[in-house]
């Protein structure tokens, strides 16, 4: 077993209340959440620190789809004050180049990051790496800027996710894969369990030294880009992305086993479950939000191994993407991002070939109007209500 993240401190997750995104309030909350973990004492002058944010798409910060720019800016100020050379970036879906990322940076509110002494990533080179210790991703193509950093800080946003139920610390590292390469990984790992193992492999390879969660304003419902903003008012921090995700799932009323990345981390001995987490800082009980809209719950029914059982689960019970015709503008983004090429545009609306669809929910994730929804079949919904 890989020895990373197994030190005693990895079990600690710190929490700090943060009522809003005012600069003064954010600075105090960041200092409070980091203090029980030793602050940023790991930083030394001249160290290159990569702040890997969640910049999933060009979205206004008010939409709560991306890591809030005030949080990023204040973290950068703290790091620069300690002498670090700080670079902020991500690789969202789409072209991985200056033009596309420039628009993402501007729309996400990061144009002024240079005022903090940090800079936005402008290195769009890619590397192919071997990862023999991995369970799933034994080799992959990644963004080179992360490899050039001395340490990585993973600064994610707490949101729902069509495929993985929740996107937080572990899922955020999928941004290490260049945007145009992401569809290949959905095809390589179409099953949720394998996709989760791939995400954990990325975390184990890059090994972020610190994982921060923007859970001030989160996204519920049709996440990770078209859901509804939901205020929780908390920042989380921990050295283990797996323990941080355990606490994040608890906050929004999800059982850890419902989240594929958490289930996979437990199976690999990287997490001992929420009960094993050592919470410090502010108490989290006042922030737990059991009515957080996490939408679709998969039906835990075992039809036995084999193609017939899997077909029955996928065709009758499993959640799937479905277009809301009245919200669709026929732009074709869903067709263009679909890794399985399961979508065609007919009569100005997308048509999904269910025999080809791999239920990766890329269409739902990148629909600019939120017209593609996570949908549970009527039979699946009935059984879910019966077994809840």
What average pLDDT does this structure show over 217-234? Answer: 96
% of the chain residues with pLDDT over 70: 88
How would residue 2 be classed by pLDDT, with cut points 50, 70 and 90? very low
Q: What confidence tens digit (pLDDT) does each residue in 261-306 have?
A: 999 999 999 999 999 999 999 999 999 999 999 975 444 434 344 4
State the pLDDT at residue 326.
Answer: 93
What lies within 8 Å, CB to CB, of 67 at 6+ separation is: 53, 54, 55, 155, 156, 157, 214
Give the DSSP letter of residue 314.
I
State the pLDDT at residue 275.
Answer: 96
Tokens of 225: 């880009």
Dihedral sign from CA coordinates of 354, 357, 359, 364: negative
Average pLDDT taken over every residue of the chain: 90
Whether the CB-CB separation of 215 and 232 falls below 8 Å is answered with yes
What lies within 8 Å, CB to CB, of 117 at 6+ separation is: 76, 77, 80, 86
Please name the residue ranges forming H helices in 66-143. 69-81, 98-107
Is beta strand 228-238 parallel, antiparallel or unpaired with respect to 12-17? antiparallel
What's the predicted TM-score (pTM) here? 0.87
Quickly list DSSP for 346-371: ETTEEEE-TTT-----HHHHH-TTS-
E-strand spans in the chain? 12-17, 48-53, 85-89, 119-120, 126-130, 139-143, 151-161, 165-167, 210-220, 228-238, 278-281, 320-323, 343-346, 349-352, 372-375
Q: What confidence tens digit (pLDDT) does each residue in 191-204 have?
A: 999 999 999 999 99
How would residue 387 be classed by pLDDT, with cut points 50, 70 and 90? very low
State the pLDDT at residue 358.
Answer: 86
Residue 259 pLDDT > 60: yes
What lies within 8 Å, CB to CB, of 25 at 6+ separation is: 18, 19
State the pLDDT at residue 33.
Answer: 98
Looking up tokens 């017939």 gives: 308
Which has the closest alpha carbon to 166: 29, 13, 343, 289? 289
Q: Tally the C-alpha atoms within 13 A of residue 277's C-alpha that lie toward its C-beta.
A: 27
Give the Cα separation of 179 and 362 in Å (integer). Answer: 12
Residue 71 pLDDT > 60: yes
Q: What confidence tens digit (pLDDT) does each residue in 297-306 have?
A: 444 434 344 4
How would residue 376 be classed by pLDDT, with cut points 50, 70 and 90? low
State the pLDDT at residue 377.
Answer: 55
State the pLDDT at residue 261.
Answer: 98
Q: What confidence tens digit (pLDDT) does each residue in 17-39 have?
A: 999 999 999 999 999 999 999 99
Q: What confidence tens digit (pLDDT) does each residue in 336-369 have?
A: 989 889 999 999 999 999 888 988 888 988 888 8
Q: What is the dihedral of CA 71, 72, 74, 78, to 10 degrees?
A: 130
Structural domains for the chain:
8-287 (3.40.50), 307-387 (3.30.70.20)
Rg, C-alpha atoms of the chain? 20
């Amino acid at each position: 077993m890989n020895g990373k993240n197994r030190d005693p401190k990895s079990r600690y997750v710190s929490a700090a209340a943060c009522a809003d995104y005012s600069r003064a309030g954010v600075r105090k909350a960041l200092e409070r959440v980091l203090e029980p973990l030793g602050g940023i004492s790991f930083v030394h002058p001249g160290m290159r620190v990569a702040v890997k944010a969640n910049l999933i798409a060009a979205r206004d910060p008010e939409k709560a789809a991306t890591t809030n720019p005030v949080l990023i800016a204040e973290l950068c100020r703290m790091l620069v004050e300690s002498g670090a050379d700080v670079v902020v970036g991500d690789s969202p879906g789409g072209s991985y180049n200056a033009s596309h990322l420039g628009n993402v940076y501007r729309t996400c509110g990061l144009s002024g990051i240079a005022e903090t002494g940090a800079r936005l990533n402008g290195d769009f080179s890619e590397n192919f790496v071997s990862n023999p210790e991995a369970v799933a991703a034994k080799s992959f193509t990644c963004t080179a800027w992360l490899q050039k950093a001395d340490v990585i800080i993973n600064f994610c946003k707490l949101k729902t996710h069509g495929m993985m139920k929740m996107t937080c610390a572990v899922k955020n590292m999928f941004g290490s894969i260049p945007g145009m390469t992401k569809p290949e990984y959905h095809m390589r790992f179409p099953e949720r369990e394998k996709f989760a193992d791939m995400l954990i492999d990325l975390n184990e390879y890059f090994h972020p030294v610190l994982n921060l969660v923007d859970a001030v304003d989160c996204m519920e419902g049709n996440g990770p880009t078209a859901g509804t903003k939901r205020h929780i008012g908390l920042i989380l921090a921990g050295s283990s992305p797996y323990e941080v995700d355990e606490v994040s799932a608890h906050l929004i009323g999800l059982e850890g086993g419902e989240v594929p990345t958490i289930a996979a981390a437990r199976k690999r001995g990287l997490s001992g479950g929420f009960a094993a987490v050592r919470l410090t800082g502010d108490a989290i009980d006042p922030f737990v939000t059991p009515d957080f809209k996490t939408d679709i719950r998969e039906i835990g029914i075992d039809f036995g191994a084999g193609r017939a059982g899997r077909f029955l689960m996928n065709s009758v019970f499993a959640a799937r993407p479905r277009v809301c015709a009245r919200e669709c503008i026929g732009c074709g983004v869903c067709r263009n991002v679909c890794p399985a090429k399961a979508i065609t545009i007919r009569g100005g609306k997308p048509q999904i070939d269910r025999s080809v669809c791999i239920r990766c929910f890329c269409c739902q994730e990148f629909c600019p109007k939120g017209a593609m929804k996570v949908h549970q079949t009527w039979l699946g919904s009935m059984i879910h209500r019966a077994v809840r």
